[in-house]
Amino acid sequence: MSAKGKVLFVYNLRKRGAAAAAAAGERWCLERGIPAHTTPRREIELDGVELVVAIGGDGTLLRVAGAIFPREVPIFGVNVGGALGFLSVGGAEALVPALEGYAAGKYRIERRMRLSLELGERTFSALNDVVFVGPGAYRFTELSVRCRREEVLSFAGDGLVVATPTGSTAYALSAGGPLLHPEVAAMLLVPLSPHALDLRPVVLPPEGEVEVEARYPVQVFVDGDRVGRLKRGERARIARARAHTLLVRFPEQEGFFSRVRACFGG
């Protein structure tokens, strides 16, 4: 950690203990002459920032990573308040050891692929997934999915998950999709409760653009946040984003499959 680079602690106001953990991290840095600042999740300013620490849970890390995109600033997450912490380095007790490891250069960077979504005139980016879900309580929709001008899927059901390898451990996993190691570059398509017996998840190369056409209205979510909807006949386009999320990993952290077993069993 350079003497000039600032550490930004971004905390989730809704998570008990998050603000206190951020203050403790800031205090540790300032006592060692390292510039640092704390801020709530929705007030992020990156000037001079070398490292971002997201304090809350995986949802906090996802939203902070989205807020700093397309800047490729290293980030790690700290889990507080009982939130799911699959992507984090650990609980609040892991914060200071992580800062010590980063300051000593004992870390590595994982470049995590992101998705870019074109929805009408607007563009969004996802670290985990873009999800299409039918409206209302019944969640029914009909979708056609194409890649490189070839139809890949056409079905009726609850919807579709388009996931990165990082997102393969999230909604896509719950829907029966495969695990993709984070070092794999690919896009994963997972139908949600399809009304068909022969549909399976599909893994696509990252270079192709995926086009999703709504044959029945559908809601669109990016990393869990609703961003819009498609009317019948409208289309959304998904491709590999031009920038990555840089996750900081430390030697003492468990490997990918060990973390999967620890969080999800098996």
pLDDT digits (tens, 9 = 90+) for 152-186: 999 999 999 999 999 999 999 999 999 999 999 99
d(C-alpha 142, C-alpha 101), whole Å: 49
Block means of pLDDT (10 residues each) for the chain, length 266 residues?
80 93 97 95 87 95 95 96 79 94 96 98 98 91 96 97 97 96 96 94 96 97 97 98 97 90 80
Angle between helices 95-103 and 18-31 (to 10 degrees): 30
Active site residue ranges = 58
| Encoded tokens for 218 | 């559908």
| CB contact set of 214 (below 8 Å; sequence gap of 6+) | 132, 141, 142, 143, 230, 231, 232, 233, 234, 235
**Single pTM value for the model:** 0.94
d(C-alpha 162, C-alpha 180), whole Å: 13
> What single letter denotes the amino acid at residue 195?
H
The 3-state DSSP class for residue 183 equals coil
d(C-alpha 93, C-alpha 103), whole Å: 17
Residue 61 φ/ψ region, left for φ over 0, alpha for ψ in the -120 to 50 degree band, beta for the rest: alpha
CA gyration radius, the chain: 19
DSSP-derived letter for residue 91 is: B
Domains and CATH numbers, the chain: 6-112+244-264 (3.40.50.10330), 115-240 (2.60.200.30)
- Which whole-number Å values give the CA distances from 4 to 1, 24, 51, in the listed order? 8, 20, 11
> What single letter denotes the amino acid at residue 123?
T
| CB contact set of 5 (below 8 Å; sequence gap of 6+) | 34, 35, 48, 49, 50, 51
Please say whether the beta carbons of 140 and 158 come within 8 A: yes
129-139 tens-digit pLDDT: 999 999 988 88
